[in-house]
Every structure is written in C-alpha cells, then in structure tokens.
Amino acid sequence: MPSGLIALALGGFGIGLTEFLIAGLLPQVASSFGVSEAAAGWLISGYALSVAIGAIVLTAATTRLPRKGVLVGLVVLFVVGNLLSALAPNYPVMMLGRIVAALCHGSFFGIGSLVARGLVPPERKSRAVAVMFAGLTVANVLGVPFGALVGERWGWRAAFWAVTVIGVLALAGIVALVPGGAGEATGQQPSSLRAQFRAFRSWQVWLTLVATALGYGGMFGAFSYIAYTFTEVGGFSSSDVAWLLMVYGVGLVVGNLVGGRAADHDRDRALVVALLGLAVTLAVFGLLATSATASVVLVFLMGVFGFAGVPGMITRVTDYAHGAALAASANVSASNVGNALGAWLGGLAITAGLGYTAPLYVGAGIVLVAVVVMVVAAWQADGGELG
C-alpha cells in the first residue's frame, strides 16, 4: 500500500472527526456560549451546508493548480478552522471556525480521490479510494464518543485542539509522502474551468450524481431518526444508542473496504447490489424494528450496504467526467444534498403521524429510485454511451 494513501486517510480521519464529534459536545458548547440547543445545532447544519458549497467553489477556483498543492492548502484551511473553534471567544467565531473547516471537506475528498487513484494501478483505483475514505468511516465510529469523552474530561475545546493536532500530522504526512505528480499524469483530466464544466455534458455523470444523492438520502433519511427507532420502537434505553451507533459505524468501515474491492471487479454490478441491499435492509428493518437482536444486525447491514457504493460512485463519476476534479467534488456535494433531502422527508413522515419506523420505509423508497437510476446508467453504459 503506498504510504501516501495513509496520509490521505489520516486527513480524512481528521475531517471526519470534525464533522461528527460536535454532536457529542453540543450541550457543553451551548452552555459555554449561552445559546439555545437549536442555535448550537446550527454548528452541525451550517457545517453541512458549507461542505456542499465549498466542494464546488474551491474545486472550481483551484482547477489549474497542482493537486498535491491544493490538498496541502485544504488541510491548512482545515487546521485554521479547528484552531478558530478551539480558541473561539463567542458563538459567531465558533460558527466561523466550523464554516472554514467545512469548506475544505468536499474538495479534499473530491481531489483526494483523484490523487489516491493516481497512486495505484488502474485495476486497483476503487480500492485506493476506499483506503482514503477509511479514515472518514473510522471517524464515524469514533467521532461522537471521542468528542463526548474528551469534552467530559477536559472540556469541549480540548476536542478541537486534538483535531487540530491531527490536522497538522495529516498536513506533514501529505507533504512528505504524497508524490508531487500524483493524480496529474492520467492524461485525461481537464485543466481549464470551462473544460471541467464540459464534463457535465455526460448523462453518465448526471445519472451517477443522482444515484449518489438518492442512495445517501435514503440511508441518512433513516439514520437521522434512528435513535428514536431504537428507543421508541426497539425498546432500547437511551444509554444503548451510543454503542448501537458504533455498530453502524463498524458496518460503514466494512462496507467501504468490501465495496472498493467489489467495484474494481465489476463496478456497475457492485453498485446495483449495494443499493438494492440497502433498500431491502431498510425495509426489513422497518418490519423487525421491535426485535432487539434484529435491530443490531440490521443497523450493521445498513452501514455495510450504505457505504459499499461510495468508492465505486466516485471512480465512476470521475471516469465518465474524464478525470474532472469538479465532478469528483460534485459527488460529495450530491451526497450532502441527499442527506438534507432524506432527513427532511423522514421528518415529514414522523410529523404526519406515521411513527418512528416511517423514516426507514421512506429511506427504502428513496433508495429503490436510486436502484432504478443506477440500472439505467449501467444499461446505457453497456450500450456504448461514454461521455
């Protein structure tokens, strides 16, 4: 395994921690700044919105720059954002720190995925992307408990200091271990902004982005309310939710690595299977949510199938975009748009009085649409449509 992939994974781990740890720190942050729980919650939603915007804007602004240099700049931005959060004297500065840190998120994973695939032979490109995303999936497992543990012992600022240190280590690793020409020598990536946008003329690019948004939307539409499903339907106590979420996180790690290997073997088939498996898992979860044993198994499978398609989706969109970094970052933005859409629809179902299993069924329906989109994309690709 190229050492540069480890550096990229460490960067992904730090960025993932920044995204997830705040959930375990919100009560402390709200108390520290004297703001309401709802206002503190904007530190999460504001971050997600900034990810979606930053992924497109920063990638477009840096399209002519060397990709390693861009990654270094993005990690510097990440370090600055978390440093602002750690030192924030008030809520507005804390929000600014979250926004600055979030701006690098989408571009890092978009451009980083192109650099990662440039470090290995073409037949291992999806596995290379999976290694980079392994940092993010591990952060999903550890983020909330890490934030809660550090915050409880040393205060919420200590958690952001710790992430800042991780960012500095990732920065040093990328500078030292990622080759200067990684991701630049494929001979296909567009160099101008106009050429980057031309990549979006491909129906395959758009179909992949839509499938990504719907796949993520279905999973996170269910995941956003999973704590209520566990406690109100499954009979778990609130103290059980933390370890149940870790089971889900372990599923993400497994799905990411298995999905990367499967995508290198037969990508479109692997993506259809992952999406179909997720749709079935969510529907069965809704039916068996009253069973504690079934809930544990199904939340694990939800993580496995939910992330199994990520490496393949990214390599697919960049292949049909002929290496355009903007398309890779757009894939990250699409996933965040899907997250917001899924959470909104799941919330509507609960508000309509359909119960706390309703988001699981809503999620299954959304993912089934993603299956149809992916089947159409694969069928068109087999017919020779490429770009």
* Three-state DSSP state, 252: helix
User: Please, which pLDDT band fits residue 38 given cuts at 50, 70 and 90?
Assistant: low
Residue 186 pLDDT > 50:
no
Residue 47 pLDDT > 50:
yes
pLDDT of residue 369: 96
Residue 106 pLDDT > 60:
yes
How many contiguous H segments (helices) and E segments (strands) does the chain have?
15, 0
Residue 139 pLDDT > 90:
no
What would the pLDDT profile of 337-381 be if each residue is shown by its tens digit? Answer: 887 788 788 888 888 888 889 989 999 999 999 999 999 999 987
DSSP class per residue in 348-373 = HHHHTT--TTHHHHHHHHHHHHHHHH
The secondary structure of residue 65, as a DSSP letter, is: S
Cα of first residue to Cα of last residue in the chain, in angstroms, is 31
Calpha distance 249→339 (Å, rounded): 17
Residue 253 pLDDT > 80:
yes
pLDDT of residue 385: 44
Q: 185: buried, middle or exposed (CB in 10 Å: 19+, 13-18, 0-12)?
A: exposed
Percent of all residues in the chain with a pLDDT value above 90, rounded to a whole number: 25
Calpha distance 194→353 (Å, rounded): 48
Average pLDDT over residues 180-206: 66
CB 331 within 8 A of CB 110: yes
Calpha distance 267→259 (Å, rounded): 9
What would the pLDDT profile of 89-101 be if each residue is shown by its tens digit? Answer: 999 999 999 989 8
Residue with tokens 């748009």: 337
Question: pTM for the complete prediction?
Answer: 0.74
Calpha distance 18→44 (Å, rounded): 10
What would the pLDDT profile of 254-301 be if each residue is shown by its tens digit? Answer: 998 888 888 888 889 999 999 999 999 999 999 999 999 999 999 999
What is the average pLDDT value for the chain, to the nearest integer?
83
DSSP class per residue in 2-61 = -HHHHHHHHHHHHHHHHHHHGGGTHHHHHHHHT--HHHHHHHHHHHHHHHHHHHHHHHHH
Percent of all residues in the chain with a pLDDT value above 70, rounded to a whole number: 91
Residue 111 pLDDT > 60:
yes
Top-confidence range, 7-21, 113-127, 327-341, 351-365: 351-365
User: Please, which pLDDT band fits residue 327 given cuts at 50, 70 and 90?
Assistant: confident
Q: Which two tokens stand for residue 238?
A: 């609130």
